[in-house]
Amino acid sequence: MIMLIMKCSLLAMTLSLAAIPAVGAQGKKKSDSPVDSKAGQACRIVATAPWVKRQAEWFDESAPAWTNDTLRTALLRAAGITAPLTPPVQIGVQVAGQSRPLGDGADEMLAQLKALASTRGSAWPTKSVVGAAGVHAVYLLVERDSVLSRSALRRLMEAGPAESPAVDVATLEDRVRIQAGRKQLYGTQFRLDDRGAIVLAPMEDSAHADLRREDAGLPPFALGLCLAKNMK
């Protein structure tokens, strides 16, 4: 009887996970609304979850307040952001070798960001300069370049949580650490194994992962793992 219940539970879980909409490598969903699979409790993104609300708050651009609209427009175009961001903007799932396509002028913008990052005292595009979407565009661009990632991460950290989204900073820090041969801290980096399955890249101290992820505004670790393993 117990075995039967377990088998039924496993079948239900498998079906519910299969029902989850596909999520892009940068946390950009193909649908515009948060994932809300009624069948799958474990793999469900709930719009009222604290981490989603926190991202919604940080990325809210209903009252535009950035100072450099020209740079912002160029950043969004280069990063391939064509529509307003909808939370959650960042689910913290990056699979090595899988990236969403960038937009027009990406190479030029990357060169511009490299020049900024290597110039001491230069004005880095932060939230007050290019808005929340502009800063996310910076993240989408810099994470493509391992050298730029390192210097950009420093600039993003220096800018602080009011000017840089903690979720992007955490995801980028993990990426930089993995690229440097170190273990990640937040559990946002994945790779494909020999059989093509998505597996978590080496990680430090997974026991406290949820504390760090909560601090960064990432989904709970179990949800992140579930979302990653069910990516198409």
CB of 169 to other proteins, least distance (A): 6
Closer Cβ to other proteins, 149 or 230, answer by number: 149
CA–CA dist 94, 173 (Å, integer): 12
Maximal CA-CA distance, the chain: 68
Q: Which of 85, 106, 152, 170 binds other proteins (CB under 8 A)?
A: 170
CB of 157 to other proteins, least distance (A): 6
CB of 70 to other proteins, least distance (A): 30
From the list 55-63, 67-75, 93-101, 154-162, the region that binds other proteins by CB under 8 A is 154-162
**Residue from 179, 225, 193 nearest 206 by CA:** 225
- Based on the shown chain and the rule CB under 8 A, indicate whether residue 157 belongs to the binding site for other proteins: yes
How many binding residues for other proteins (CB under 8 A)? Answer: 20
Residues between 180 and 199 that touch other proteins (CB under 8 A): 182-183, 185
From the list 16-24, 36-44, 119-127, 168-176, the region that binds other proteins by CB under 8 A is 168-176
CB of 50 to other proteins, least distance (A): 12
| Torsion sign across C-alpha atoms 68, 71, 75, 81 | positive
CB of 91 to other proteins, least distance (A): 17
Q: Which of 12, 15, 123, 211 binds other proteins (CB under 8 A)?
A: 211
- Based on the shown chain and the rule CB under 8 A, indicate whether residue 212 belongs to the binding site for other proteins: yes
Contact residues for other proteins, defined by CB under 8 A: 157, 160-161, 166, 169-170, 173, 182-183, 185, 204-208, 211-212, 214-216
